[in-house]
Every structure is written in C-alpha cells, then in structure tokens.
Amino acid sequence: MTKFLKIFYAMLLIYAQSYAQTVPKKIYFFADTTAKNRIMDISVESNILKYFTIYCPCMDKDNNFAQFMWIRKKGESKPSEVIGKPTHKYISFKDLAERIAKYGVYFDRYYELNIVEPRKNVNLFITWKVEILPVGQIIY
C-alpha cells in the first residue's frame, strides 16, 4: 500500500508541475508619440486609468486594433518619469502585432507588456505596465 501511495504522490507532483503557471516574459515597446504615425493612440480617462490602442488586425477579423490598459491599483503610485530613453531591448511593432495575434486575450499569460512613452518636447520618459483588454471590453 505504501508503494502505491509513493507512486501516486510522485505522479501527482509531475502532473502539478506540468500545469504550473509560467512567469510572463517582460517585453518593452517604445510608443513614439512624437512621430506622426497611426499605429497607436493613447487616451487618458483619469489619473488612474490610461488606454493604449494599437492598430493592427491582430485580435480578430472584426477588429483592426488591440487595446491595452494601465490602471493604478490601490496603494500604487503613478510610474515615475526618467530622464533619457531607458536602455531596454525594445520589440518592433511587427513583433508585437504577431504576438498579440498569436495569443489574443491570453497575451498577458505569456508577456508582461511595458510601453515606454516619451513626453512631448522634453527628455522625459515614462514606462507603463499594461494589460490587454478582451475583445468584448473594447473602449472606444
């Protein structure tokens, strides 16, 4: 009986580890808001809510955009501004769109997206840790 329990326990551990949640990989995207491009819009709802709309046919055939949101959680402060562009390794718009298309609403399970936004006319940058909005919750 104890041999059976040991085998059962070992199999249970293997099963649990195979379904363990992985830590999302941090990725950085530079939102060049100073350029005249139409790949992204940023809208501010309040001092605790900000939306980033990325124009790409990556979520589904009916929507030509994906939306991410930053929301300040209780006890958190707004991300700080830094002088000079952070030296992260940035992904391209094409790579970001491909990853959104691949994972859709499950994007956050695989990636922690950080959007680096420059401030206009100054050498200040702010990094926003954002989450994807499911297609049914798109904010226009």
Write the pLDDT tens digit of every residue in 95-108.
999 999 899 889 99
Give the pLDDT of residue 11: 52
Count other C-beta atoms under 10 Å from residue 99's C-beta: 18
Q: Is the pLDDT of residue 20 over 70?
A: no
Overall pTM > 0.85: no
- Cα torsion 52, 109, 111, 58 to 10°: value is -50
- Domain residue ranges in the chain: 24-137
Count other C-beta atoms under 10 Å from residue 83's C-beta: 8
Give residue-wise pLDDT tens across range 61-113: 677 888 899 988 888 878 888 999 899 999 999 999 999 989 988 999 999 99
116 pLDDT band (50/70/90 cuts)?
very high
Q: Whose structure tokens read 């300040």?
A: 72
Give the pLDDT of residue 104: 87
